[in-house]
Chain A
Amino acid sequence: MSDLKQELKNKIISQLNLEDVAIEDFEDSTPLFGEGVGLDSIDALELIVMMDKDYGIRLTDPKEGRKVFESVDVMAAYIEEHRTK
Chain B
Amino acid sequence: MVKPVYINGMGTVTAQGTHDPERLFGEPVLYDSDAWHAIAPDYRTIIPGSEARRLSTGMKMSIAATKAAMEQAGVEQVDAVITGTGMGCIRDSEKFLRAILDNDEQFLTPTPFIQSTHNSVAGHLARMLACTGYNFTYVHGSNSFASSVIDGLMQLRNGEAEVVLIGGVDELGDHSTELHRRNGHIKGKPVPSAGLLASTTSGTLFGEGAGFFVLSNVKGPATYAELLAAKAWHKTGAEGIEQHVLDFLRENGVTPEDVDAVVLGRNGDGDFDGYYNALSEGLFKQHTQLAYKHHTGEFHTAPTFAMYLVARVLEHDAVPAAYLVKNPPSGTIRTILQYDQYRGVDHNLTLLRKC
Contact = CB atoms under 8 A, between A and B. Distances in A.
Chains A and B touch (C-beta atoms under 8 A apart): yes
B52 A46 contact: no
Contact of B109 (A19, A38, A49): A49
Contacts of A53: 106-107
A19 B110 contact: no
A16 B49 CA distance: 12
Contact of A19 (B52, B107, B108): B52
A21 B156 CA distance: 44
A77 interface: no
B111 A42 contact: yes
Interface string B7-47: 00000000000000000000000000000000000000000
A55 to B, nearest CB: 12
A35 to B, nearest CB: 13
Given A46-B109, A49-B108, A19 B114 contact: no
Contacts of B50: 18, 20, 38
B78 to A, nearest CB: 25
B53 interface: yes
B326 interface: no
A16 B53 contact: yes
Contacts of B114: 42
B111 A19 contact: no
A72 B106 CA distance: 25
A2 interface: no
B189 interface: no
A82 B54 CA distance: 30
B109 A45 contact: yes
A49 B111 CA distance: 11
Chain A, interface size category, equals: 10 to 19
A60 interface: no
Interface in A2-27: 16-20
Contacts of A18: 50, 53
Interface string A36-76: 00100010011001001100000000000000000000000
Contacts of A17: 53-54
Nearest to B54: A17
A42 B53 CA distance: 12
Contacts of A52: 107
Contacts of A49: 107-109
A46 B110 contact: yes
A20 B110 CA distance: 22
A38 B48 CA distance: 13
A19 B110 CA distance: 19
Nearest to B48: A20
Nearest to A53: B107
Contacts of B49: 19-20
A13 to B, nearest CB: 10
A46 B107 CA distance: 9
A20 to B, nearest CB: 4
A46 B53 contact: no
Contacts of B54: 17, 42
A60 to B, nearest CB: 15
B109 to A, nearest CB: 5
Nearest to B115: A42
Contacts of A38: 50
13 contacts: A17-B53, A17-B54, A18-B53, A19-B49, A20-B50, A38-B50, A42-B54, A42-B110, A42-B111, A45-B109, A49-B108, A49-B109, A53-B106
Interface of B: 49-50, 52-54, 106-111, 114
- 9 closest A-B pairs (Cβ-Cβ)? A20-B49, A17-B53, A53-B107, A45-B110, A49-B109, A46-B109, A19-B49, A49-B107, A19-B53
Given A19-B52, A20-B50, 5 more contacts: A17-B53, A19-B53, A45-B109, A46-B111, A49-B107
